[in-house]
Structure 1
Amino acid sequence: MKASYASLHGKRVFVTGGGSGIGEAIVEAFVAQGAIVAFVDILEEASEALVVRLRETYAQADRRLRAPEFRHCDITDIPALQQTMAELATLLGDFDVIVNNAANDARHRIGEVTVDYWDERIAINQRPMFFTVQAALEGMRRRGGGSVINFSSMSFHAKNPNYPVYATTKASVIGLTRCLARDLGPFNIRVNTVTPGWVMTQRQVDLWLDEAGEAEIRRSQCLPGKLMPEHVAAMVLFLAADDSKMCTGQDFVVDAGWT
């Protein structure tokens, strides 16, 4: 039985990369809790299909629930991201929750990395996290507090090969979270990190899961079975809800014991 958080009903939630994978599970989980959800993504077709599915699954079945608002946005364009957030806040109200989920874990080898590639990876995986918080800050202060949830990755803990720039960006999330938690704590704004393990999104299954990967999961996880997007979404709900109101500056690992 899934947890129900009364404090999430009516909360305004903004999610980056909400159109597929872990982000899709997060958006659905908040909608099911009665939150007012907005998300951005570059995957327009998948995101629009998600809105339709959630409208049919939740909003039409229960008038207390509403379908999410989607806006196409490239989060590497910070002015566009912040303008989109401002427009959504005007439409829905100031945000209570920010979920910095969007990322790209494309593989790369050390000798192939150029300065332009490095900067591009930073622009996708690191830079937007700070600026979403900056954009939402005054609204959260008006609301009397809020929750920021930044996504890291177990990749650097596990010393995974073939994506050093990605691992660098995800390691930096821990520092950003801890410093923001100190700066924003006086305003009752909590900032935490969620660190997933190897989550079986469709992308991961299509690109990386093979017999060797199956064996690695069995060997490395303490718990049997596959780690799924909904397992990570459940942690995000807890950190967004009032039930975690004294949790801040922490890294919550959801990896079935891998690290």
Structure 2
Amino acid sequence: MTDSLAGTLTARYPSLADRAALITGGATGIGASFVEQFARQGARVAFFDIDDAGAHALIAGLAGMAHAPVYQRCDVTDLDALQSAIAAARAQIGPIGVLINNAANDARHDFGETTAAEFERNIAVNLRHQYFATQAVIEDMRTLGGGSVICLGSTGWMIKNAGYPMYAMAKSAIRGLVNGLARELGHDRIRINALVPGWVITEKQRRLWLDEEGEAQIRRSQCLPGHLQTEDLARMALFLAADDSRMCTGQDFIVDGGWV
């Protein structure tokens, strides 16, 4: 199955020019598309990851942007390192007006063999950092007069997929995080929403899990034909970060080709 985005007409968001955007897990996959698309809008982008090679390759491919993306190596499960990296990013790109909590790991695991240490690690990589990264940028957004927090969820728990119960649990909690903060942050014109992907066919997904059975499942379950691509998520993120979405908060924005 092929599905090209060539020739697609896309929006320009003037409000994103020079806006400081911080993206976790930005070296590859969906996160790399966020970095690229925000940079192409003229935003000042900083991103975190532990994949140095992927991060440097991404930056090299974006030479010539109005603002070169800034890479900060950071394991988001280390909360002290996360706080330090956010401070370093702020020093380089200015007060954070957009936060995209993207870092995650959907590694498959067996419910019956889960240890307590594995449980804590999974929550740390898929949920905990979203809470504390958001906490760390709120004063920036208050100073700016508002901002946008975008938390990455997943439809995996909604459609009751097997094979990753801890991941499904963590991703379902993103809805609670967004709902639990929307009113509190809204008083300061800070929006918080969940961007909820379906099965996005990244290089990792293609390498590890996409087979003929998976292709058949996509054809059966999606209302729209073709592969969901990273750019499809990035374009929704641009809208949620821009002033165009100024009255959108506390919501799930599902991008899945009509699967759920």
TM-score, normalising length: structure 2 = 0.96
Identity rate, percent: 51
Tell me by how many angstroms 1:92 deviates.
1.5
Query: Distance in 1 between the 2:92 and 2:67 partners?
Result: 14
Query: Distance in 1 between the 2:56 and 2:199 partners?
Result: 26
Query: Distance in 2 between the 1:36 and 1:181 partners?
Result: 25
Corresponding position of 2:207: 206
Corresponding position of 2:5: none
| Cα deviations by residue, 1:21-43 (Å, 9 ceiling, x for unpaired) | 00000100000000000000011
Tell me by how many angstroms 1:88 deviates.
1.2
Query: Distance in 2 between the 1:130 and 1:82 partners?
Result: 12
Corresponding position of 1:15: 23
Aligned residue among 23, 30, 45 for 2:38: 30
| Cα deviations by residue, 1:180-220 (Å, 9 ceiling, x for unpaired) | 11110011100000000000110000000000000000011
Query: Residue 148 of structure 1 aligns to which amino acid in structure 2?
Result: V
Query: Distance in 2 between the 1:156 and 1:88 partners?
Result: 32
Tell me by how many angstroms 1:145 deviates.
0.6
Corresponding position of 1:134: 135
Corresponding position of 2:174: 173
SS, match of residue 40 in structure 1: strand
SS, match of residue 21 in structure 2: strand
Query: Distance in 1 between the 2:103 and 2:39 partners?
Result: 18
Tell me by how many angstroms 1:232 deviates.
0.6
Q: How does 1:1-259 map to 2 (within 5 A)?
A: 1-55=9-63, 58-59=64-65, 65-259=66-260
SS, match of residue 196 in structure 2: strand
Aligned residues: 252
Tell me by how many angstroms 1:147 deviates.
0.1
Tell me by how many angstroms 1:66 deviates.
1.5
Corresponding position of 1:62: none
Query: Residue 180 of structure 1 aligns to which amino acid in structure 2?
Result: L
SS, match of residue 187 in structure 2: helix
Query: Distance in 1 between the 2:193 and 2:236 partners?
Result: 11
Query: Distance in 2 between the 1:133 and 1:209 partners?
Result: 33
SS, match of residue 222 in structure 1: coil
Tell me by how many angstroms 1:133 deviates.
0.8
Query: Distance in 2 between the 1:91 and 1:162 partners?
Result: 40
| Cα deviations by residue, 1:107-131 (Å, 9 ceiling, x for unpaired) | 0111111111110000100000011
| Cα deviations by residue, 1:56-111 (Å, 9 ceiling, x for unpaired) | xx42xxxxx12100011000001111111011102221000000011000001111
SS, match of residue 99 in structure 1: strand
Query: Residue 67 of structure 1 aligns to which amino acid in structure 2?
Result: A
Query: Residue 13 of structure 1 aligns to which amino acid in structure 2?
Result: A
Query: Residue 152 of structure 2 aligns to which amino acid in structure 1?
Result: F
SS, match of residue 187 in structure 1: coil
Tell me by how many angstroms 1:179 deviates.
1.1
SS, match of residue 191 in structure 1: strand
Query: Distance in 2 between the 1:115 and 1:51 partners?
Result: 38
Unaligned runs of 5+ in 2: 1-8
